Structure 1
Amino acid sequence: MSNNLATIVHTFTNRSSLSLARGSLFKFVALLAAVFVLASLSLIYLAHDLDRTEEIESAFYTKKAMQSLEKSMRSTVKDYAFWGDAYKHLHAEVDTDWAYVRQNIGSTLYADFGMQGVFVVNDVNRTVYSVIKGELKPVEVADWLDQSIVGILDKARTGAETETPITAFINVKGNPVLVAAAAITPGTDPTVVPDDRPPSVLVFVDMLNSTKLELIGNEFGVSRLHVATPDEKDAISLLPLGDNGAAGTLHWSSSQPGLRLLGIGLPLIGVAALLVWLMTWAILRRTTAGALALDASYASLQSSQDALAISEARFRDVVEASSDWVWEIDSDWRLTFLSERFEVVTGLSRDAWVGALIDDLLGTELGTLSQWLSIPNRRPDISVQCRYIDTQDRERITRLSAREMTQGGFRGTATDVTEEVESRRRIEFLSQHDALTGLPNRTRLQEFLDGKLKALPTVEQPLIMLSLDLDRFKPVNDLLGHAAGDLVLNEVSSRLAACVRDGDLVARIGGDEFVLILTDVNSQDEVEALCHRLIESIERPIAIDEQEVFVSASIGIAMAPTDAFEAAELLRYADIALYEAKSAGRNTWRFYAGDMNARIIERRRLESDLRFAIKHGELRLHFQPRYRIADGQMVGAEALVRWQHPERGLIPPDTFIPIAEESGLILSLSDWVLNTACRCAAQWPEKLFVSVNLSPIEFKRGNLIGRIQKALHDSGIDPTRVELEITESVMLDDAAGALELMQTLKRLGVRICMDDFGTGYSSLSYLRAFPFDGLKIDRSFLSRLVESDDDKAIVQAIVGLGRALSLTVTAEGIETGQHLQLLKAVACDEGQGYFLSRPLDIDAFDALLDATESAGTRSNV
């Protein structure tokens, strides 16, 4: 009886142990499964959030790319449409020669801006002028676009009074096309009187093919931007163009950082889960075998407890291997558990915070964490961003997830997202600020301007805009490198910001261009005082690599509402005033005035006419003889260009040469002068040479050596009969490059002469180091030669210097017989001026040569 009872007790105890072991193990497995599921869900959520963030950013930059394209098109069509000359030649009458032949509105729009179609539609909506891919063709815009654009034309005419162009996306044969249109108006040209007809409309068409879309996308960091195909119409990465996507839909390829994260994370979690499952299977097998093999002794119970401890240790290791830390709080909001990972991630002590209120550790922007956890019916899968202070007194950001426990309190995980949040903030900051200087960019400037203009500034409380451009900045980049240029821009940015008040704005809108917006300036005197401070601050030396760099600034000023009330107009007027400041000698400021715009229009008209003049033979070449002072023999002549304008008459060089240099026409102009002068001089007696002036710009670009070689070869003239006159500014800009170029010119055999000697800064050092054959005394010394003993001494010293260096000395501006006698007295070599001979056209100069040959020597020498 006792043995049976013992057997029953043993069996019962054995089964109880097995049941207890299995129950504990199943609970452990369930907890591990929950941890793996929680880790997987967290990983999936994070991956989804990363992909969604990337998609939002790609959509944002794609939209910005299209908006930038539209803005550029509106700006381009506005520059051409709101122009008095365009009104006269394309609305009042259609002058194809002016528009296409002279390249005012012709093939350059296709070559430079990629405009596949340029059209002018008259007041009855008939196309009167069309350029297709740079070629003049008689095509109706509606036929070319395969649809009517009457609605676009009507909207463009509606914006005529406010000079507002429009843009619209349309669909042409399955491809998106951007159309820009603007009514042709006289603009601010006071010489044009508008008629009573509805205005004609200038239409620019840009077809967005796959190549152009991909280039636009690459500029904004968007990969494979293209027109969506039918099987891509349900994709997420879509941007409709036109009304409800009528012009087509753009699609792009977004990178999927979340998918890559899942590709790495989920397999690792799966491997970990498999290992845990195998471990659990092994433990269960061992526990079951042990429970069946052992009796209900203490040893069996102790073995089960050891196995459970090992299992719990393994669970703890898995939890601590996660990048998150785990927390629990009770119903009184006090922390009851913090995983060991808490100390690794935060640097804070677990012992110090267990038992403390969770609100003392973490806080949210919307209130305390306990308030967020207490929200009724709060979705358990929603997380919240919290902030805490680490041991270095730095603010850190963590994303917190929480679930309510059945016995009260909450349990959850926390993920550190500080770097992710800071990256987003950086992206937002860079979208509105210049990456180099940290100043606001064009986008932020536009927003600031719009906001201030909506406040309706008054004459008593105006809004002041300063457009500022650095002078002498380009040599810094060229000579010291772009790194030095960046240092200069940063220093200038700091100085500008220090000169304005807190409510004002300083923006960098490009290269060395800045815009300042002043909101609390009441008088012109205050503005001028600020401009003086700005220039004075910028002119202070900037130390770079143990040397000092000096720059200055020019400033253009426009005011709202006095000058304009639109942001774009205010910017344009400030730029016009800036141009006037630069024309006035730089390092100064100018307020905008109405006649400035007229001068800009006049300069644009002269530039257009000059381009036409160079191509169509309106230039004339005159020659001013140069004589040997000792015996009166002609030794050569200086070639001087003149412009015989068909309407304005003879235009002097000091009017059109600066325009040629600024517009890039100087190379074409100089080629014409050089070739014509060499061709004419080749017909002169061999003892005579021709002297040609070179612009400093030609030393910086334009393949000067090749152009001179071609002129010498084509004309057949002996190179020793060609003299090139250069000014000292060539050497000031880039002395090493100028020396190398001049040495190459000397190897060609031509002569080199320094023009305007005595007006520079380091002429003596240049004369010793550079291969000059002669120098010309500036006419300013001769103008007061009779009255000024100082000028006599200077001329005599220059002649002596030239003789010591074996240079031919030529005096310019000989106006009287006294000038000539004084130059003879100091043994000056050569001279030219009105007293000896005025500049002569080609025919008159040839007649002079014939007379000189027969007479031998001039009688007045």
Structure 2
Amino acid sequence: MPRQIDATRQFFFRVILPLVLLTALLLVGSAGGLIWLANFQTKTAISEQARLARAAIDVHGKALAKGASDYGHWDEAVVAIVDNFDFPWIDGNIGHAGEDSYGLAMSFVLDPENRTVYSYVDKKGGAVDARSLLSNGFNEIVARTRGGDRVSATFGLVSAGNELAMVAVAPLRPFVDKTRPQDTGYLVVFVDVLTAARLADLGNTYLLPNLRLADIDDESVDPRARIRFSDEIKATARYLAWDPARPGDALLRTAGPILVITLCAFVALSVFVLRYSGEAARLIRSSEARAMRDALTGLPNRVLLLDRLDRLIGHLKSRQPGVALMYLDLDGFKAVNDGHGHAAGDELLCQVAERLRSLLREQDTAARLGGDEFVVVMPGLTNRDELRTRASRIIETLRSPYRVTDTVVEIGVSIGIAVSPTDGREGADLLQKADQALYLAKSSGKGTARFHSDKALQVVGG
């Protein structure tokens, strides 16, 4: 009997106990690893959402700044504001037009002393002082615009009462009349008040559920799922917040009980964890892809374009002669948009995007910067004759008639061309040089293309 007890004890200590301890260690290690993985997934998802939130605000601000620049770079506006103040013209073409085109809540015109000479507030034109409605950063944005190159628009987030507002400020300057000084001293101000409904729309677009304003002491907000507006807004303790993605919580709720039941479930759980990890990664990639794509045409937007362009230029330095960039601006699009409605304008932009896709090589990229501006990137293509041929083909293709909303319309296109490394070794620099070439093309009669580095200003006919 004692021998049986000793044998049983030895078996217990030599076999059972080690197996129990090993199983316990595996379960504890698996549980610990599962908890770590869940926390890591949640942290990564929230970090990606914060990056998407900043990208959403930046893209929204750049689009508003582009609109303000378009309205500020206008000969008729200079005449109506500077030469002979024409309130009805300003009210119809800036105030009401800004609301109709961009859904703006407010717009203003400031004189060289920053006095408000025109305001559009609550759907009425007047002369309400912009500084009485906008604070926490507005003066700084105006100062940045005046201290800049007197050509570019600036944008930023400010306070509009108890709400947040995106403000874009652009210098008022002539477009065609070269006899006038470019610096008139007047500014066009566009204001998009980010109401709860407006923030909800942005949140739906960028997969940021319940995007809203929140106080810093709001305990219901996860500190990781909020961002500050901008450096200018220092007098407020409010943040942009959203309901963060928590893939790790779902993982624990589903996999935890399985881990406790049996060791066999541990193996099944491992597969389950991998599947959940793949799904979380897919959701993050999907969110990022939506933030980097133009919602209307599906083409890459400015953020994705610059990222691809910088990668492409760096990759081609040792393997290809360079990369060409064509900056496209549609001629006559505004007339179609105004004459046939925004739905027709959107349909026309989609058809333009499809025609551009049909002209691309496999290695080329087409992107939409916003409004009626597109970019085509062509790696390994620097021969000017071939670029002229490609540009002419684009001009011919895009000016063929379109059928939108049972109506046939026609537009044209002007193109500015920049080539790396001659015109720049960075994506943003190359884009700027192509934009400058586009300005020359439009100034020379539209429907043409210009090279930035072409000193003879040779025109590619459309």
Say whether the fold is shared (TM-score over 0.5). Answer: yes
Query: What residue number does 2:270 align with?
Result: 323
- Give the C-alpha shift of residue 559 in structure 1: 2.9
For the residue of structure 2 that corresponds to 1:94, the secondary structure is: coil
**Take 1:142 and 1:157, find their aligned partners in 2: how far apart are those partners?**
16
Query: What residue number does 1:465 align with?
Result: 326
AA in 2 matched with 1:214? A
Aligned match for 1:496, one of 352, 360, 372 = 360
Can you list the C-alpha shifts for 1:308-363, whole angstroms capped at 9, x where unaligned? xxxxxxx6x45554436xxxxxxxxxxxxxxxxxxxx9xxxxxxxxxxxxxxxxxx
- 5+ residue gaps, structure 2, are 315-321, 331-346, 400-409, 453-462
- Give the C-alpha shift of residue 219 in structure 1: 1.6
Within 5 Å, give how 1:223-238 maps onto structure 2. 223-229=209-215, 230-232=217-219, 235-238=223-226
2:42 touches 2:247 (CA, 8 Å); kept in 1?
yes
**Take 1:45 and 1:241, find their aligned partners in 2: how far apart are those partners?**
31
Distance 1:48 1:522, change over 3 A: same
AA in 2 matched with 1:231? D
1:91 touches 1:184 (CA, 8 Å); kept in 2?
no
Aligned match for 1:77, one of 68, 73, 86 = 68
**Take 2:265 and 2:44, find their aligned partners in 1: how far apart are those partners?**
30
Aligned match for 2:256, one of 255, 266, 274 = 266
The number of residue pairs the alignment matches comes to 406
2:79 matched to 1:68? no
2:121 matched to 1:121? no
Within 5 Å, give how 1:783-798 maps onto structure 2. none
Q: Over the residues paired in the alignment, what is the CA RMSD in angstroms?
A: 4.7
Give me the TM-score of the superposition, normalised by structure 2. Answer: 0.70
Query: What residue number does 1:135 align with?
Result: 124
AA in 2 matched with 1:507? A
Can you list the C-alpha shifts for 1:792-842, whole angstroms capped at 9, x where unaligned? xxxxxxxxxxxxxxxxxxxxxxxxxxxxxxxxxxxxxxxxxxxxxxxxxxx
Aligned match for 2:37, one of 33, 46, 52 = 46
**Take 2:37 and 2:323, find their aligned partners in 1: how far apart are those partners?**
51
Aligned match for 1:527, one of 374, 387, 392 = 387
Aligned match for 2:416, one of 558, 570, 577 = 558
**Take 1:193 and 1:244, find their aligned partners in 2: how far apart are those partners?**
31
1:160 touches 1:182 (CA, 8 Å); kept in 2?
no
1:436 touches 1:490 (CA, 8 Å); kept in 2?
no
**Take 1:434 and 1:148, find their aligned partners in 2: how far apart are those partners?**
29
Q: Percent of counterpart pairs with the same letter?
A: 25
**Take 1:125 and 1:438, find their aligned partners in 2: how far apart are those partners?**
40
2:366 matched to 1:507? yes
Can you list the C-alpha shifts for 1:615-655, whole angstroms capped at 9, x where unaligned? xxxxxxxxxxxxxxxxxxxxxxxxxxxxxxxxxxxxxxxxx
**Take 1:169 and 1:104, find their aligned partners in 2: how far apart are those partners?**
25
Aligned match for 2:78, one of 83, 87, 95 = 87
Aligned match for 1:218, one of 170, 189, 204 = 204
**Take 1:497 and 1:569, find their aligned partners in 2: how far apart are those partners?**
23
Query: What residue number does 2:191 align with?
Result: 205
2:259 touches 2:269 (CA, 8 Å); kept in 1?
no
2:414 touches 2:438 (CA, 8 Å); kept in 1?
yes
- Give the C-alpha shift of residue 28 in structure 1: 2.5
Greater relative CO (CA pairs within 8 A, separation 6+)? 2
Can you list the C-alpha shifts for 1:561-585, whole angstroms capped at 9, x where unaligned? 999977357348649959999x8xx
Within 5 Å, give how 1:183-194 maps onto structure 2. 183-190=171-178, 192-193=180-181
- 5+ residue gaps, structure 1, are 1-9, 274-314, 325-344, 346-397, 400-414, 455-460, 470-481, 540-551, 584-588, 595-861
1:535 touches 1:553 (CA, 8 Å); kept in 2?
no
Aligned match for 2:6, one of 10, 16, 27 = 16
- Give the C-alpha shift of residue 560 in structure 1: 3.8
1:159 touches 1:183 (CA, 8 Å); kept in 2?
no
Within 5 Å, give how 1:88-167 maps onto structure 2. 88-100=79-91, 103-145=92-134, 149-161=138-150, 163-167=151-155
**Take 1:74 and 1:134, find their aligned partners in 2: how far apart are those partners?**
21
For the residue of structure 2 that corresponds to 1:44, the secondary structure is: helix
1:108 touches 1:134 (CA, 8 Å); kept in 2?
no
**Take 2:290 and 2:134, find their aligned partners in 1: how far apart are those partners?**
39
Within 5 Å, give how 1:356-505 maps onto structure 2. 441-447=301-307, 463=324, 465=326, 467=328, 493=357, 496-497=360-361, 505=364
- Give the C-alpha shift of residue 186 in structure 1: 2.2
**Take 1:592 and 1:513, find their aligned partners in 2: how far apart are those partners?**
16
Within 5 Å, give how 1:588-599 maps onto structure 2. 590-592=448-450
Distance 1:149 1:319, change over 3 A: closer
- Give the C-alpha shift of residue 99 in structure 1: 0.9
Distance 1:529 1:149, change over 3 A: closer
AA in 1 matched with 2:357? S
For the residue of structure 1 that corresponds to 2:155, the secondary structure is: strand
Query: What residue number does 1:567 align with?
Result: 431
- Give the C-alpha shift of residue 252 in structure 1: 0.2
For the residue of structure 1 that corresponds to 2:245, the secondary structure is: coil
1:51 touches 1:256 (CA, 8 Å); kept in 2?
yes
**Take 1:199 and 1:442, find their aligned partners in 2: how far apart are those partners?**
30
Aligned match for 2:49, one of 58, 69, 72 = 58
**Take 2:276 and 2:100, find their aligned partners in 1: how far apart are those partners?**
53
- Give the C-alpha shift of residue 259 in structure 1: 0.8
Distance 1:20 1:245, change over 3 A: farther
AA in 1 matched with 2:231? D
2:167 touches 2:189 (CA, 8 Å); kept in 1?
yes
AA in 1 matched with 2:188? L
- Give the C-alpha shift of residue 448 in structure 1: 5.3
1:171 touches 1:177 (CA, 8 Å); kept in 2?
yes
- Give the C-alpha shift of residue 48 in structure 1: 1.6
Within 5 Å, give how 1:274-353 maps onto structure 2. 317=264, 320-323=267-270
**Take 2:158 and 2:433, find their aligned partners in 1: how far apart are those partners?**
29
AA in 1 matched with 2:212? H
- Give the C-alpha shift of residue 106 in structure 1: 2.0
**Take 1:148 and 1:435, find their aligned partners in 2: how far apart are those partners?**
29
1:432 touches 1:441 (CA, 8 Å); kept in 2?
yes
- Give the C-alpha shift of residue 265 in structure 1: 1.4
AA in 2 matched with 1:236? R
- Give the C-alpha shift of residue 55 in structure 1: 1.1
- Give the C-alpha shift of residue 75 in structure 1: 0.8
For the residue of structure 2 that corresponds to 1:465, the secondary structure is: strand
Can you list the C-alpha shifts for 1:117-171, whole angstroms capped at 9, x where unaligned? 222222222222222122123322222336784433222112353x111112223
1:506 touches 1:516 (CA, 8 Å); kept in 2?
yes
- Give the C-alpha shift of residue 452 in structure 1: 8.9
Give me the TM-score of the superposition, normalised by structure 1. Answer: 0.40
- Give the C-alpha shift of residue 517 in structure 1: 3.3
AA in 2 matched with 1:15? I
**Take 2:329 and 2:190, find their aligned partners in 1: how far apart are those partners?**
32
**Take 1:533 and 1:128, find their aligned partners in 2: how far apart are those partners?**
47
1:496 touches 1:534 (CA, 8 Å); kept in 2?
no
Distance 1:571 1:448, change over 3 A: farther
AA in 2 matched with 1:497? R
AA in 1 matched with 2:382? V
- Give the C-alpha shift of residue 56 in structure 1: 2.1
Distance 1:231 1:194, change over 3 A: closer
For the residue of structure 1 that corresponds to 2:228, the secondary structure is: strand
